[in-house]
Amino acid sequence: MAKGFVAITVERCKGCGFCVEFCPTHVLALSSAFNSKGYHAPHVVASEKCSGCDLCGMYCPDFAIFGARHAR
Amino acid sequence: MNETTLEIPYEIPAGAHNPVEPFLRMDRMPHIWCPGCGIGTTVNCFTRALLDSKADLDKVAVVSGIGCTGRVAGYARLDSFHTTHGRAIPFATGLKLSNPELQVVVYSGDGDLFAIGGNHFIHAARRNMDLKVICVNNLTYAMTGGQTAPTTPGKVISATNPYGVFEPSFNLVALAEAAGASYVARWTTYHVKQLSRSMEEVFKKKGFCFIEVLSPCPTLYQRRNKMGDGLDAMKFYKEVSKTRHGAPTSECALTKSGEIVVGKFVDRERPDYFELLRAQMTETLGDRYVEPLREQEEDVVCSC
Amino acid sequence: MHADPKGVLTGVHFLDGDHACCEGTLAAGARFAAGYPITPSTEVVERYASRIPTVGGIFIQMEDELAASIAIQGAVWGGAKAFTVTSGPGFSLMMEHIGYAAMTETPCVFVNVQRGGPSTGLPTLPAQADMMQARWGSHGDYGIIALCPNSPQECFDLTIQGFNLAEEFRVPVMLMLDECVGHMTEKVVIPEAGKIEVTPRRYTKLPPAEFQLFEPREDSVPDMLRAGDGYRFHVTGLTHDERGYPSMNVETQDRMVRRLQDKLKPLANGRALCETENLEDAEVVVVSYGITSRVAQRAIQLARKQGVRAGKFRIISAWPFPEQRIRELAGRVKAFVVPELNLGQMVYEVERAARGQAAVIPVTHAGGTVHNPDSILKAIVEAAR
């Protein structure tokens, strides 16, 4: 079971790719689906690797993603 | 929260919320910043720093000038002021002087703070006015279409230098130190943890504090110069940044594609404006000196 | 409410206009001033700098007038009553921020001790050539209030009134002195604090969830706030809605700019400040303000001696222009004579208000000294013919 989780607000995302690039454990990848504005939001491809560090949240310029640790 | 169907099913705990949202005027989202712009990233760091420093948010005021970074004031759910171009610092000075218990943060861009606002920057630094200045430096005047700024490096194409910038550009950290700032640091939007920590440090420090944050401007600065998108800029920051705490600021100038020196360069103790004022007044007036404004408001008949 | 005694220098004094103005600011409760040295205004802040540390407040000499004119607004939003002082060249520099104060409805006071212009002009000599600039100097549609004292006593009294009007209307107020009034020394009586009426800032009584910083009351003026009280408000110079959020569309623009001007209408009508004499039977009315009104007084006396039925209309609140009063008068007098220390500024407002019902005769003067009463007398006599 992963230590953390990631929540993505797909409609806010502008597909900049920061979260995908800088996630230390490569949990994310850009989805081939796109939101109503035409941007490819990220999706979780390796959920078990998520530590909930929230680096994705710190990087996201659009406040479209955040990570957190699962409550124990 | 709007979710289109994700390709790979993924569940998140109920009630999870983005820690940055309480700090934003969510009724004004989405913001106006471009895809790949780093201003939003700096706002995350600011939020994190406010949280970690356990700041009383009712006492934090944000003052911005005009420009893309100037829009931060409008999105922050704090007492916030979107002032005139270049004049965030003197506005902030008046705000702080009339209400010393406020934590006054100036959040503005490189053109706003150092071209039109340059004079005010150096004087506030000289006075060691207790202001925390966060300068998002995207090396251009982004809001108005990518004109040359005092920070635009040489040879770069801009809207007002279509054949290439040839003026020397400012070394902001050296300028800040020379003017008298008590704290001077530079990070990039790649350095989210360090930036957040620097912001937290300045919230605890009295005096004029300056943090320069390099940020991508993919739509204007980069596009005109074929420098890719926001992600390319972030990867560039990661590759060429060298952390050198305490490096002499005179050696930290930026060039078009050279090394970016980041770190905390200056962290010194100097009496701030209030301390200087009080010391001088009590020395000359003794107990005839009356502490200004908020401190004595309780017994004021006219509490304007 | 009454003035805070800490700032009131009760007594009978012999002061010049600049110094009396400073005492007015202190009596009005101003506890923050920012300025930049400029002749002939500097004495106002020099006195303030020496008085305020024992009253309790701050004076800061800023690096330029651009800084001074906005530092005072920061101070207002921090909770203080604040003002700045300047003359022509500095007034020009402050224009952007006068517009910002009008746009954000920041109550504050700008003192302009007018001197000869344009440009560097005559730094030590009087003029009244910034009157139109006081009204129209910044860009866009907005309104301000301007008061014209004609004596050191009035420099004291009208300064207090200026601060009161700023608070009542949430607007920047211009105190239009001139070098002559600023540097003439006369008796100034400062009453006890209990006898001085001071308008407190109208902070809202509504809680944060309900209050909107730009939602007007019935009198078209919104209540005020200050930073640090938990309201988490936003102030911007962009066209904004009642919440204070940027709302850059045609409807909001229309609603907002009209209200910024309309809220001041009472001063154009019944609440205009003026001093009149001998209007009941007047055939020629001399309309003047500031130092020129002192000379005009003499000219009117001389005219009466010659049998001309001359009357006095001294403008005290120049902006909004007292058009209702002038319009009424225009219906029953032959002519207005308008002497000013400029080449014609307020005279155009008199003409506008008179709507052709009376002749309007300017008595211009390029500035540098005051009119000779004879030049005004001559115009009165000519107008009566």
A16-70 pLDDT, tens per residue? Answer: 999 999 999 999 999 999 999 999 999 999 999 999 999 999 999 999 999 999 9
Report the pLDDT value the prediction gives residue B15, as an integer from 0 to 100: 85
Pick from B78, B93, B102: CB nearest C232: B78
Instruction: Verify whether the Cβ–Cβ distance B294 to C79 is below 8 Å.
Output: yes
* Tens-digit pLDDT profile for residues C153-201: 999 999 999 999 999 999 999 999 999 999 999 999 999 999 999 999 9
Q: What is the mean pLDDT of residues B291-298?
A: 59
**Model confidence at B12, in pLDDT bands (50, 70, 90)?**
confident
H or E element: which one contains B242? strand B241-243
Using omega within 30 degrees of 0 as the cis cutoff, is the peptide bond preceding B19 cis? no
Residue type, C189: V
Hey, are the CB atoms on B231 and A21 less than 8 Å from each other?
yes
Whether chain A lies against chain C with 3 or more Cβ pairs closer than 8 A is no
Mean pLDDT, chain A, integer: 95
Query: Looking at domain A4-67, which of 3.40.50.300, 2.40.30.170, 3.30.70.20, 2.60.260.20 is its CATH number?
Result: 3.30.70.20
Average pLDDT over every residue of C76-105: 98
Mean pLDDT (whole number) for B167-174:
97
Q: What is the pLDDT of residue C79?
A: 97
Helices C42-55, C17-28: axis angle to 10 degrees equals 40
Check if the beta carbon of residue B218 is closer than 8 Å to that of residue B36.
yes
Q: Does domain C274-384 have CATH number 3.90.660.10?
A: no
Q: What is the mean pLDDT of chain C?
A: 97
**pLDDT for the residue numbered B255:** 81
Residue of B nearest to A22 (CA): B190
Classified as helix, coil or strand, C301 is: helix
Q: What ranges do the domains of chain B cover?
A: 21-270
- From chain B, which residues contact A within 8 Å (Cβ)? 1-8, 10-13, 16, 18-21, 24, 29-31, 33-41, 43-45, 48, 189-190, 192-193, 196, 229-231, 234-235
Q: Where are the alpha helices (DSSP H) in chain B?
A: 39-52, 72-75, 88-98, 110-111, 118-127, 172-179, 192-204, 223-224, 230-240, 273-285
Instruction: Give the residue extent of every domain in chain C.
Output: 5-195, 274-384
Residue B167 Cα distances to B116, B151, B156, C339, angstroms: 17, 10, 10, 53
Q: Are C154 and C162 in contact (CB under 8 A)?
A: no
DSSP one-letter code for C1: -
Residue in C with minimal Cα distance to B27:
C245
Task: Find out whether the peptide bond into B216 is cis, omega within 30 degrees of 0.
Answer: no
Candidate from C68, C80, C246 with C-beta closest to B98? C80
Contact list in C for residue B97 (CB cut-off 8 A) is 32, 58, 60, 71, 74-75, 78
Model confidence over C111-122: pLDDT tens digits? 999 999 999 999
Residue C56 reports pLDDT greater than 90: yes
User: Angle at the Cα of C100 (from C96 to C102), degrees rounded to 5?
Assistant: 115
Structure tokens at C4: 């805070």
Q: What angle do CA C50, C52, C56 make, to 5 degrees?
A: 150
Q: Average pLDDT in the B204-214 region?
A: 98
Q: Helices in chain C by DSSP H: which ranges? A: 17-28, 42-55, 65-77, 88-104, 131-136, 152-169, 179-183, 250-262, 265-268, 291-305, 323-330, 346-354, 373-384
**In the predicted structure, residue B109 carries a pLDDT above the cut 80:** yes
Answer for the pair B77, B25: CB distance below 8 angstroms, yes or no. yes
Q: How far is B228 from chain A (nearest CA, A)?
A: 12
Q: Please tell me the distance in Å from C357's CA to the nearest CA on chain B.
A: 44
- The tally of CA atoms less than 13 A away on the side-chain side of residue B114 is 28
Q: Are residues B25 and B72 in contact, defined by beta-carbon separation less than 8 angstroms?
A: no
CA distances to A34, B121, C2 from A12, rounded to whole Å, are 11, 35, 54
pLDDT at res. B294: 57
Q: How far is CA C252 from its chain centroid?
A: 28
Q: Tell me which residue in B86, B95, B293 faces C31 most closely, judged by beta carbons.
A: B293
Contacts of C200 (CB under 8 A, 6+ apart): B302, B303, B304, C1, C167
Mean per-residue pLDDT for C89-114?
98
b/e map C179-189, b = 16+ CB within 10 Å: bbbbbbebebe
pLDDT at B293: 67
Listed by number, the residues of chain B in 98-137 with a beta carbon closer than 8 Å to a beta carbon of chain C are 98-99, 101-102, 119-120, 123
Helix (H) or strand (E) holding C189: strand C185-190
Whole-structure pTM value: 0.96
Identity of the residue in A7, A21, A58 whose CB atom sits nearest the CB atom of B44: A58
Distance to chain B for A65, nearest Cα, Å: 7
Q: Enumerate residues 131 to 190 of chain B having a beta carbon within 8 A of any beta carbon in chain C.
A: none
SS3 C193: helix
Asked whether the beta carbons of residue B4 and residue A12 sit closer than 8 angstroms, the reply is no
Which of A11, A12, A43 minimises the CB distance to B7?
A: A43
Q: Check residue B141 and report its DSSP letter.
A: B
> What are the strands of the beta sheet with B132-137, ordered from one edge?
B241-243, B260-267, B183-188, B209-214, B132-137, B103-109, B60-64, B79-82, C234-236
Residues on chain A touching B44 (C-beta within 8 angstroms): 57-60, 63
Local confidence band at B194 (pLDDT 50, 70, 90 cut-offs): very high
Cβ-defined contact of B92 to C5 (cutoff 8 Å): no
CB contact under 8 A, A16 and B231: yes
If pLDDT is split at 50, 70 and 90, which confidence band does B1 have? very low
Residues of chain C in contact with residue B58, where contact means CB-CB under 8 angstroms, are 228-230, 232
The residue type at B103: Q
Residues of B in contact with C96 (CB under 8 A): 84
Distance from CA of B202 to the nearest CA of C (A): 19
- What pLDDT is stored for residue B290 in this prediction? 95
Using the predicted structure, report yes or no on whether residue B298 has a pLDDT greater than 80: no
Whether C48 and C59 have beta carbons less than 8 Å apart is answered as yes
* B218-226 average pLDDT score: 97
Cα–Cα distance measured from residue C62 to residue B275, given in angstroms and rounded to the nearest whole number: 18
Q: Any idea which fold C5-195 has?
A: Rossmann fold (3.40.50)
Q: Give me the DSSP letters along C219-283.
A: TS-B-B--TTSS---EEESS-B-TTS-B--SHHHHHHHHHHHHHTTHHHHTTT--EEEES-TT-S
- Residue located via tokens 């202001």: B131
The nearest CA of chain B is from the CA of C247 a distance in Å of 11
For residue A18, give the H/E element and its range: helix A18-22
B79–C79 CB contact, under 8 Å: no
Find which of B108, B301, B303 to mutate to test the C interface (most C CBs within 10 Å of its CB). B301
Q: Is the model's pLDDT at C20 over the cut of 80?
A: yes
pLDDT at B149 over 60: yes
| CATH of range B21-270; options 3.30.420.40, 3.90.1410.10, 3.40.50.1860, 3.40.50.970 | 3.40.50.970
Q: How many CB atoms lie within 10 A of CB C301?
A: 14
pLDDT value of residue B299: 34
Q: Which residue in B has a C-alpha nearest to residue C27's C-alpha?
A: B302
CB contact under 8 A, A63 and B44: yes
Nearest alpha-carbon partner for B68 in B191, B210, B220: B220
